[in-house]
Chains A and B, each alone.
Chain A
Amino acid sequence: MKNYKLALIYVLTVLTLAACNSDDDHTITGEELTATLPGTLNLTLDAVVGQEDFELHTTYDIEGQQLNFNQFRYWISHVILTDTDGEEFSIEDSYYLMEETEAISIQDGAYEYPANKRETITLTGIPAGSYTSIKFAVGIDPAYNDNLSLQAGELSQLNGMTNISWMWHTSYIFASLKGTDTGNDTQLQLETGLNSSYRTVVLTLDKDLEIGGDTDRNLTITTDIAGILNGIKVTETPVIGASTPEAMTTMADNFESNTFTVVPADEE
């Protein structure tokens, strides 16, 4: 009797836990079952300018403009991996702030956010499988963008990536690139935000990525700042934001199409 009850509890528990898995539609084949436990992927978004590595306080020629940056930050969210069967696995609560920045004065100097470089995120609990593409958004989806009190992943109001005074449009800054146009000695503040700038990026991997078990896998994607600024003339718009909708849309479109490139596995 007792064993029967324990078994029932076990079954119910498994069913309960299974019901919560966001990966309901991932079919586990017999082969996978024997192979493996969920695995880990280290995803690196390596900032570059064309063929060069990106560094702060270095002057780059971008579209004939001499640009020097002290801050590059952007939100990555809703990371999804697609396997060879076309099944999608969504990383839960995936809101990550990627950045390479010097110390930042927050809220008009009320406090300081320390200098930081963060290019790698660790994605855990990925069902074992063979993955062919990765999808993620640049920015924050409307549900969270419109309600700063909702908490998920790394979302925070305290790191200077919210528009709490930017035009009083209380939402997140999706991407921020700050520095100087050294040609004209002009300060640059190139930002995207508002729901209209939210973009989804889909990248096909050059070869299938086997994830699962104890060995972490690595995936590197380059983030090309020259691509982000494709078609942008900073002499015309040294400040890009909600008040320059055309330039902001260009930047957002560039994030979708001209910025991210998968580094072939054998070149890592």
Chain B
Amino acid sequence: MKNKRFPYYLLYIFLACTGCTTDDDGIGEDPEYTLRIPSHFPVPPEYPDNPMTTAGIELGEKLFFDTRLSGTNTVSCGTCHQPRLAFSEGSRLSVKGVSGKPLLRHVPTLINMAWADNGLFWDGGSTNLESQAFAPLAHEDEMFQNLDELITELREDPEYVSYFRRAFDSDIRINQVMKALAQYQRSLVSADSKYDSHIENGTPLTAIEKQGHQLFKNHCATCHTPGLFTDNDYHNNGLDATFGDTSHDEIYLGRYRVTRNREDLGKYKTPTLRNITVTAPYMHDGRFADLRSVLDFYDRDVQDSETLDPALKQNNRSGIALSEEDKSALIAFLHTLTDKTYVR
């Protein structure tokens, strides 16, 4: 008799555990994934609506490199975010989208995305990776995918059916595609450069790297804050003096088009300097081909305007006075930010 007793308390526990679920997305069988947080990084934000799991990240990686995500089945996220270029694309304005037309902004890198909690895109037009992915997927010059059709395509693939089952304990749905892509991108941590080894283990820098490091701390670290080497904020770094071109939904006005605040005219998100040596060309429109050109710009060509960042308007001049030797030293330092384990 004793052996036959039904463990009623299990029923209670079951009811207690299932009764209050509000989100219908489950978490698969392996909810454990611990994001690597390097000791000299800030604490990353939490993502309670989309906790990272090993299965979710694996699924996200598979989706990220799957050309079926585009309407023509020829373009994947990885087409323009290439791991060997620290998830950038290499050209000024990419023509790799399905229409072959040049995009209006330079492909951003994907580095330490778990810490990117202040908007995505160069102007912060998207709040999180889960929403952001809809734009390239749907845009006619990027992947131009019919989202309904994408789900049908993925459901025809038994491997995906099982992947979604494992990651989300559910059928394939578009919002889980977005969640998986976000999880994969957040798992991309770059913190194994010579600089990191210097900070964490005292690996010595060469004389010129050291000199560059000091210059960097004096002139660059305000916005390119170590250890992420970005403050995740928006600045007008003086690329242009005026903002008159309102074409293409005001894309040339910077963050202004998102906030409608005139103080945000010409502001763009600070890109990380991690892996900067492999992510040329530079700026939101890819206008500078190499690092020397970028430093020449900061030295000589910073344009004054009402919204120019105060950090670039000191000592009665715009920009940052740098000697040619300074520039060489800074470039030597920037090379210490390349993470060979990340760029593959």
Residues of chain A whose beta carbon lies under 8 Å from any beta carbon of chain B: 5-6, 8-9, 12-13, 16-17, 19-20, 93, 107-108, 110-111, 146-151, 157-158, 162, 164-165, 167-171, 242-243, 245
| A16 in contact with B16 (CB, 8 Å) | yes
Q: List 26 A-B contacts (CB under 8 A).
A: A5-B8, A6-B8, A12-B15, A13-B11, A19-B19, A110-B138, A146-B131, A147-B127, A148-B130, A148-B131, A148-B134, A149-B49, A149-B179, A149-B182, A151-B173, A157-B175, A158-B147, A158-B174, A164-B134, A165-B135, A165-B138, A169-B125, A169-B258, A170-B132, A170-B134, A245-B260
Question: What 0/1 readout, one digit per residue, does chain B (233-270) give for beta carbons within 8 Å of chain A?
Answer: 00000000000000001100000011010000000000
Cβ distance A83 to chain B, nearest Cβ, rounded Å: 24
Report chain A residues within 8 Å CB of B258: 167, 169
How long is the Cα–Cα vector from A167 to B247 in the complex, in angstroms?
A: 11
**Contact of B23 with A by CB under 8 A:** yes
Cβ distance B21 to chain A, nearest Cβ, rounded Å: 9
| A147 in contact with B23 (CB, 8 Å) | no
| A167 in contact with B134 (CB, 8 Å) | no
| B24 in contact with A243 (CB, 8 Å) | no
| B174 in contact with A107 (CB, 8 Å) | no
How long is the Cα–Cα vector from A16 to B12 in the complex, in angstroms?
A: 8
| A170 in contact with B125 (CB, 8 Å) | yes
Known: A6-B8, A148-B134, A150-B175. A17 touches B128 (CB 8 A): no
How long is the Cα–Cα vector from A12 to B257 in the complex, in angstroms?
A: 54
Report chain A residues within 8 Å CB of B49: 147, 149-150
| B126 in contact with A151 (CB, 8 Å) | no
Residues of chain B whose beta carbon lies under 8 Å from any beta carbon of chain A: 8-9, 11-12, 15-16, 19-20, 22-25, 49-50, 71, 121, 125-128, 130-132, 134-135, 137-140, 144-149, 173-176, 178-179, 182, 249-250, 257-258, 260
Cβ distance A144 to chain B, nearest Cβ, rounded Å: 10
Known: A5-B8, A9-B11, A245-B260. A146 touches B174 (CB 8 A): no
How long is the Cα–Cα vector from A164 to B121 in the complex, in angstroms?
A: 13
| A148 in contact with B175 (CB, 8 Å) | yes
Known: A9-B12, A107-B147. A146 touches B138 (CB 8 A): no
**Chain B minimum-CB-distance residue to A8:** B8
Cβ distance A114 to chain B, nearest Cβ, rounded Å: 12
| B149 in contact with A111 (CB, 8 Å) | yes
| A107 in contact with B178 (CB, 8 Å) | no
Report chain B residues within 8 Å CB of A167: 125, 249-250, 257-258
How long is the Cα–Cα vector from A19 to B19 in the complex, in angstroms?
A: 9
- Known pairs A110-B144, A165-B135, A170-B131; list 14 more (Cβ under 8 Å): A12-B15, A12-B16, A13-B11, A13-B15, A19-B19, A20-B19, A108-B140, A110-B71, A147-B49, A149-B130, A151-B23, A151-B173, A170-B135, A243-B250
